[in-house]
């Protein structure tokens, strides 16, 4: 069996193949965003990253240029970009920006209300404790686990440190 190179996009697509609205928080050079846009022709995406390195923003623009009509680029932080999105607008939001525990806690709180009933809040860097990457990103595990415990919602993971929480169809969100 061949190994997919766009593994992050694959594990999102398998959960929500007909997504029309998605966001990536932390885009870097746009690889995952471009993979998602290629995999889902009906998808329109908001790409959020403050891009401290301009070359990474330029690389992103190049990577997503084949899908330009379906992309909104927000060169800013997660918390400022949240103002661009209405509650329950998104089929998925993929959180892969600032991985500090405080930032992850804030991102989950900010972006959960933007998820449609039946949609997914998800992200990267939920590593197992034995993985070398765990030490730097364990705040992701702590905050994702705390969120699942508070809400009673099940956590799904993939083999590549991805985490996924589905909003139930009958979820009642307090307006944010």
Strand partners, 44: 21
Considering the complex, state which of residue 59 and residue 146 has its C-beta at the smaller distance from ligand SAM. Answer: 59
| 167 makes contact with ligand SAM (CB under 6 A) | no
Task: Count the neighbouring beta carbons within 10 Å of the beta carbon of residue 111.
Answer: 25
| 143 makes contact with ligand SAM (CB under 6 A) | no
What is the longest distance spanned by two Cα atoms in the chain? 46
| 106 makes contact with ligand SAM (CB under 6 A) | no
Q: Contact region for ligand SAM (CB under 6 A) — 23-31, 109-117, 142-150, 157-165? A: 23-31
Half-sphere exposure of 164 (CA within 13 A, CB side): 22
Structure tokens at 143: 């905050």
| 11 makes contact with ligand SAM (CB under 6 A) | no
Strands annotated E in 14-168: 21-25, 44-48, 71-74, 90-95, 115-123, 156-157, 163-166
| 38 makes contact with ligand SAM (CB under 6 A) | no
Q: Contact region for ligand SAM (CB under 6 A) — 18-26, 39-47, 65-73, 166-174? A: 18-26
Residue with token string 């959180």:
95
Considering the complex, state which of residue 24 and residue 143 has its C-beta at the smaller distance from ligand SAM. Answer: 24
| 114 makes contact with ligand SAM (CB under 6 A) | no
| 139 makes contact with ligand SAM (CB under 6 A) | no
| 20 makes contact with ligand SAM (CB under 6 A) | no
Q: Which of 7, 31, 84, 160 binds ligand SAM (CB under 6 A)?
A: 31
| 75 makes contact with ligand SAM (CB under 6 A) | no
> Of 32, 17, 44, which is closest to residue 162 (Cα–Cα)?
32
DSSP letter assigned to residue 24: E
Question: Residue 75 and residue 60: Cα distance in Å, rounded?
Answer: 11
| 60 makes contact with ligand SAM (CB under 6 A) | no
Point out which residues bind ligand SAM (CB under 6 A): 8, 24-28, 31-32, 48-52, 56, 77-78, 96-98
């Amino acid at each position: 069996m061949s190994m997919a190179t766009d593994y992050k996009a694959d594990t999102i697509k398998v959960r929500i193949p007909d997504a029309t609205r998605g966001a990536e928080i932390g885009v870097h050079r746009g690889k995952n965003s471009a993979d998602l846009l290629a995999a889902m022709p009906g998808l329109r995406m908001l790409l959020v990253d403050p891009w401290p390195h301009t070359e990474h923003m330029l690389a992103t623009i190049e990577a997503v240029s084949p899908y330009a009509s379906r992309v909104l680029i927000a060169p800013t932080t997660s918390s400022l970009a949240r103002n661009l999105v209405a509650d329950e607008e998104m089929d998925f939001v993929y959180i892969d920006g600032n991985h500090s525990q405080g930032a992850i806690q804030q991102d989950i709180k900010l972006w959960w209300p933007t998820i449609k009933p039946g949609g997914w809040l998800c992200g990267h860097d939920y590593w197992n404790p034995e993985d070398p990457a765990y030490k730097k990103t364990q705040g992701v595990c702590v905050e994702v686990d705390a969120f699942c415990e508070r809400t009673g919602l099940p956590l799904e993971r993939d083999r590549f440190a991805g985490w996924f929480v589905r909003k139930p169809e009958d979820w009642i969100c307090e307006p944010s």
